[in-house]
A and B are shown apart, each in its own frame.
Chain A
């Protein structure tokens, strides 16, 4: 299982990374893509919509399952990754390099409430053990 050090993690397997322009990029973890299997479709949130922390804002769909994506921090969606409509498998290829949407966070400090790489790895291992 790969974990990147430059970002925070939600218990629901999203990663959140603070970008240089103050936005927060969101994707799903390598562990999540492995559990889901081959992705066939990503339902991205609408640009301009606002979500609370933990609110369902999209769906990743594989051949065997459809999982909700939850906003890791509260904010307004400012961008969605257009590449995913044609090539959802990019997430399987490199989940940490493939952002799904970007948020303008209501409170950038909220990122600190998420887990760091080590804590996320520990949580996943505890789940599997």
Chain B
């Protein structure tokens, strides 16, 4: 082959790389190990980790994934990291994307969905740009301060070179949610959209109807940032307020995707039919072939960069195919009733944990109702308490002083359906002992 292309040798194909970069000796990389040696090493390391009981949510949630999900996902027909485009995408792949889109649109109560984005945080950045394109006159976005700080940071990065102004909306320190007064204070500034997180980063539930109507009354779009499991119990974004949210997005990880050290996850995005031409990402559509048989194709591709180039809605040209496959199978296996039972178990579990902690003098910091996460007021710095709980192999929650100094002493705790009453009892005992230690009374 080298002869056929007229190359002197394989090195000739790499001659663009400067010589000083080519001959680096990798002195600190050990010799290759065999498969057997590596397997043993990994097993020993995993055994060191041990089993932990995790009560940390904060954007990524531990849920039970039925064994059938990944059994099916790892089938050769699905299991590929590649993002096929129109010419090479199989009907099976496109049908799966279409079914995923149908499910996620239904779950959020909106008309159209894309085939997914990288994750919830970048989906927010994309939604903000989409809102600015749709609004046409304002490039300002109202962002609540009780949104997950990683989402706010990622969104800021994504819009940073697009001349989009972000105005922060403070939350009520007592309820933990957005209040009309804070919104009215900035009502004189026009904006393209108000971002509403439900539940918000504290697990607290916002008055989404009031907020959506407020946004629409002031000529703004309403962008919903939602948890997909919560949608089995809470009002879907499509029915928020009188007209429904315009765009809904969030992190799809809770649906069949394991925590796996932070990723890969996937971002979902849905919108009203009128907005579909401004939605980024790939979109699969159903159609009929020349013989009238049903088929699937990527559609509305004129939004995308391979056709619109610099005027494309986004330069994302992929989707999280594998994670989406898992989520689709997960949603199909659970069905609406299964998803509702999971959500109810999460909600009930959190309430039962809070009840066990009241006698310890530990109460929720905010007064608004919560879904599966709540901020607990410890009265002492959370760090040492969590350290003590780790001795019981319990990850007690997220120390919110990580997010902001004003939240020191606050612990964000999450309970999912994976926690039994015995787990909650264990948590209460461990927290009690830890508090006694830290308060110096133990």
Question: Interface residues, chain A, CB within 8 Å of chain B?
Answer: 40-41, 43, 46, 61-66, 68
Nearest CB of B to A43, in Å: 8
Residues of B within 8 A of A61 (CB): 302
On whether the beta carbons of B302 and A41 are closer than 8 Å, the reply is yes
On whether the beta carbons of A65 and B307 are closer than 8 Å, the reply is yes
On whether the beta carbons of A66 and B277 are closer than 8 Å, the reply is no
Residues of B within 8 A of A63 (CB): 302
Residues of A within 8 A of B302 (CB): 40-41, 61-63, 65-66
On whether the beta carbons of B136 and A41 are closer than 8 Å, the reply is no
On whether the beta carbons of B136 and A64 are closer than 8 Å, the reply is no
Residues of A within 8 A of B308 (CB): 66
**What CA separation (Å) do A62 and B307 show in the bound complex?**
10
**What CA separation (Å) do A41 and B308 show in the bound complex?**
14
**What CA separation (Å) do A64 and B302 show in the bound complex?**
7
Give the most central of A61, A64, A65: most B CB within 10 Å: A61
On whether the beta carbons of B307 and A66 are closer than 8 Å, the reply is yes
**What CA separation (Å) do A40 and B311 show in the bound complex?**
18
Chain B interface size range:
under 10
Nearest CB of A to B308, in Å: 5
* Further pairs besides A64-B307, A66-B308: 4, Cβ < 8 Å: A61-B302, A62-B302, A63-B302, A66-B307
Residues of B within 8 A of A66 (CB): 302, 307-308, 311
Residues of A within 8 A of B136 (CB): 46
3 closest A-B pairs by CB: A66-B302, A61-B302, A66-B308
Give the most central of A40, A63, A66, A68: most B CB within 10 Å: A66
Nearest CB of A to B283, in Å: 13
Residues of B within 8 A of A43 (CB): 277
Which chain B residue has the least Cβ–Cβ distance from A61? Answer: B302
Residues of A within 8 A of B277 (CB): 41, 43
**What CA separation (Å) do A4 and B264 show in the bound complex?**
58
**What CA separation (Å) do A62 and B308 show in the bound complex?**
12
Nearest CB of A to B135, in Å: 12
**What CA separation (Å) do A68 and B311 show in the bound complex?**
10
Nearest CB of A to B105, in Å: 21
Residues of B within 8 A of A41 (CB): 277, 302
Residues of B within 8 A of A68 (CB): 311
Which chain B residue has the least Cβ–Cβ distance from A66? Answer: B302
Residues of B within 8 A of A46 (CB): 136
Which chain B residue has the least Cβ–Cβ distance from A49? Answer: B136
Nearest CB of B to A19, in Å: 27
**What CA separation (Å) do A66 and B302 show in the bound complex?**
6
Nearest CB of B to A39, in Å: 11
Which chain A residue has the least Cβ–Cβ distance from B304? Answer: A66
Q: Could you write out 11 A-B pairs with CB less than 8 Å apart?
A: A40-B302, A41-B277, A43-B277, A63-B302, A64-B307, A65-B302, A65-B307, A66-B302, A66-B307, A66-B308, A68-B311
**What CA separation (Å) do A62 and B301 show in the bound complex?**
10
Which chain B residue has the least Cβ–Cβ distance from A56? Answer: B311
Nearest CB of B to A59, in Å: 8
Residues of A within 8 A of B307 (CB): 64-66
Which chain B residue has the least Cβ–Cβ distance from A65? Answer: B307
Which chain A residue has the least Cβ–Cβ distance from B303? Answer: A66
Which chain A residue has the least Cβ–Cβ distance from B277? Answer: A41
B293-336 at interface with A (beta carbon < 8 Å) = 302, 307-308, 311
Which chain B residue has the least Cβ–Cβ distance from A68? Answer: B311
**What CA separation (Å) do A41 and B307 show in the bound complex?**
14
Give the most central of B136, B277, B302: most A CB within 10 Å: B302
Nearest CB of B to A41, in Å: 7
**What CA separation (Å) do A41 and B302 show in the bound complex?**
10
Which chain A residue has the least Cβ–Cβ distance from B309? Answer: A66
Nearest CB of B to A126, in Å: 26
Nearest CB of B to A54, in Å: 17
B117-160 at interface with A (beta carbon < 8 Å) = 136
Residues of B within 8 A of A64 (CB): 307
**What CA separation (Å) do A63 and B307 show in the bound complex?**
10
Residues of A within 8 A of B311 (CB): 66, 68
Nearest CB of A to B155, in Å: 26
Interface string of B247-285 (1 = CB under 8 A from A): 000000000000000000000000000000100000000
Nearest CB of A to B434, in Å: 60
Nearest CB of B to A36, in Å: 11
**What CA separation (Å) do A68 and B307 show in the bound complex?**
12
**What CA separation (Å) do A42 and B195 show in the bound complex?**
30
**What CA separation (Å) do A40 and B277 show in the bound complex?**
12
**What CA separation (Å) do A4 and B310 show in the bound complex?**
34
Nearest CB of A to B153, in Å: 33
Which chain B residue has the least Cβ–Cβ distance from A40? Answer: B302
**What CA separation (Å) do A46 and B137 show in the bound complex?**
12
**What CA separation (Å) do A46 and B277 show in the bound complex?**
17
Residues of B within 8 A of A65 (CB): 302, 307
Nearest CB of A to B284, in Å: 16
Nearest CB of A to B298, in Å: 11
Interface string of B191-219 (1 = CB under 8 A from A): 00000000000000000000000000000
Nearest CB of B to A91, in Å: 15
